[in-house]
Chain A
């Protein structure tokens, strides 16, 4: 479980995240939704100790963020940021292998190699493993970053808009990969803009707006016309399909 207690964030005196308290259960997929600038990335970066905590506490599976070595945390959660521009020139296979750093510290064993191979296969990158990252399409590069996070083989995955650049089929592959992990006890906290992916796969939805948690609950509870229209300040209809909410954009 990720336990977020009274976590807030200010930049240059402006509050961009009001004190937030939140429990994210393990063994589930939790979707973090909300309009641009709502504070989703800010919250995810604080939980992933990418940005230092200014106030409040976060613990992940009982490990307190402030009191746990970063290297230990890297075996508990993998983080993929919203923008993933690389300055260095690496091959896909090399990038994915860096995901094993927290486990092997540069001395890969058979387990590490197997994890890298599995992650490459999971995201359809086997044929691209030898290609340089700067010679890939946007979606192929995004899949390589996802494979790197998967290779880290952690109980938790923290993903910020992982669908960026992905086509429909690969976006679905990603959600299916998360669901496979969930079946083995894995957990994920994922920032999503396409609400139907949240409707189709998430167990919980956390909605943020203007630096606050706006609504929280199961997809059925949060993905309603009222809450969503209010969240995005635009009329949104929600139908149903196979027992799950279906968010309609065109009316």
Chain B
């Protein structure tokens, strides 16, 4: 590893650490840094509210950024992420179905249904883009957006008929952490575990990015790697959708910046990607908590604006090659 990358990872770790400390200390109740152990109220605020909220932001950001890279390797296209391939809409469709058909189902059943329907929706996207001409780079994200739109419209229509619009709104539009307390965010550890699975299979995903021909030549089964990737993307997205609502652009912006600096050797880039995703979402949550204090703007809204701006800039400053 060259010194530049070590510096980048160190800077990201320090930045994320600083954001965590800040996140733990910002709020209506002043938690004293010194003498914390003798302040039961402070301990309670920390353990029930601020620590879960901080963890939720970091875990969802890290997992979404990793899911973004995995999606990009599967699609062999830089301009996709779970939220532009119909994945959260599919998860919401599954959740809606359980809510309507089996309202008494235990939470784990709902999660499983959400993850499976996210998987089916994303697999549909992959099947669709396989039929597109490979050279048309922008057709792939376009196909994803159209698929998201169609599934999203079905979800909206069902929710409207069933008077569940508000519920669906919390899944697909909010991306906010103000309601996170202990006991309400732990599913995000499953998202983090799915992202960790991507780390274990990092070389396989990187080889998949070389194209199906090269992957087969190296003895991998590209379809099997792709299915593993679909599981990672779907589980991460479904857990985030259920716990805090979908957060846009993290999976697009962070992997693109990391790839520009470090390339696509996932074994090396996944850790900085996860750190960057965690820092970006936690930072957005903090900004949302501070700008109109004591009121809050959802992190998802902040990212909707800043993420779009960063992404446009990335498209604009796309390095051009001689070839």
Residues of A within 8 A of B (CB): 45, 48-50, 69-75, 78-81, 84-91, 94-95, 98-99, 101-102, 105-106, 130, 132, 134-135, 137-138, 152
Contact = CB atoms under 8 A, between A and B. Distances in A.
B15 interface: no
B219 A81 contact: no
B263 A89 contact: yes
Given A70-B219, A98-B206, 16 more contacts: A49-B216, A50-B216, A74-B218, A80-B217, A86-B210, A88-B73, A88-B206, A88-B210, A88-B264, A89-B263, A90-B264, A91-B263, A106-B267, A132-B263, A134-B323, A135-B321
Interface in B191-232: 202-203, 206-207, 209-211, 213-214, 216-221
Given A70-B220, A81-B213, A81-B214, A101 B263 contact: no
Contacts of A49: 216
Contact residue range for chain B? 20 to 34
Nearest to B218: A101
A181 to B, nearest CB: 18
Q: Which residue among A85, A89, A99, A137 has the maximum number of chain B CB atoms within 10 Å of its CB?
A: A89
Interface of B: 2, 73, 76-77, 202-203, 206-207, 209-211, 213-214, 216-221, 259-260, 263-265, 267, 321-323
Contacts of A80: 217
A113 to B, nearest CB: 15
B209 A78 contact: no
Contacts of B267: 106
Nearest to A77: B217
B202 to A, nearest CB: 8
9 contacts: A45-B213, A79-B217, A81-B217, A85-B211, A89-B259, A89-B260, A89-B263, A94-B265, A102-B218
A102 to B, nearest CB: 5
Nearest to A136: B323
A70 B221 contact: yes
Q: Which residue among A87, A95, A98 has the maximum number of chain B CB atoms within 10 Å of its CB?
A: A87
A85 B213 CA distance: 11
Given A88-B264, A94-B263, A102-B218, A138 B323 contact: yes
Q: Which residue among A45, A75, A86, A99 has the maximum number of chain B CB atoms within 10 Å of its CB?
A: A86
